[in-house]
Structure 1
Amino acid sequence: MNPTIENNFKYHKPQEGQPEKYERLREEAKELAYSIDALCPNSREKSLAMTKLEESIMWANAAIARN
């Protein structure tokens, strides 16, 4: 049995303090998303920047949940 695989593929019930961390990350990412939207011309690169921002928040949330 691989403990990393077991941890990464199980449900992680939110612990005390975690929901607040998720919310803060979402709010800060949303601010950056609005900046990207306002400052960058519509393009493939802008779309990728938005996608990567969403991915970074998902991974940050996973870091909180898994550890």
Structure 2
Amino acid sequence: MDAADVIRRFTFHPADTDERRQAHEDIRSACLQLALMLHSELPAGAEKQSAMFRLEETMFWANAAIARQPKEPQP
């Protein structure tokens, strides 16, 4: 890992296009729908907590993948 990678990991990456903003929203919406289904279907317990945590983690990493991609060149 070099300094550029550290900076990329710990810098805010705002969505710079409508497509990226929509992709973030699509990820959040899909994860929310699954989270609500898991919440209603799974019994309370450590396994449910783990599933919910992992889904939240999945949402985070999916949005990071969108946000951290190189900026599109401006026309």
TM-score normalised by structure 2 residue count: 0.80
Query: 1:33-54: CA deviations, max 9, x gaps?
Result: 1111121111111011111111
Q: Does 1:29 align with 2:31?
A: yes
Of all paired residues, the percent bearing the same amino acid is 33
**Off by >6 Å, runs of 4+ in structure 1:** none
Q: Which has the higher helix share?
A: 1
AA at the equivalent of 1:37: H
Q: Which runs of 5+ in 1 are unaligned?
A: none
What residue in structure 1 maps to residue 22 of structure 2?
20
Per the alignment, residue 63 of structure 1 pairs with 65
* 1:47 aligns with one of 46, 49, 54: 49
Q: Which residue of 1 aligns with 2:11?
A: 10
User: How far does residue 30 in structure 1 lie from its aligned partner after superposition?
Assistant: 0.9
**TM-score (normalizing by structure 1):** 0.88
RMSD: 1.2
Structure 2: segments with no counterpart, 5+ residues:
70-75
Q: Which of structures 1 and 2 has the bigger CA Rg?
A: 2
Aligned length: 67
Q: Which amino acid is 1:2 matched to? A: A
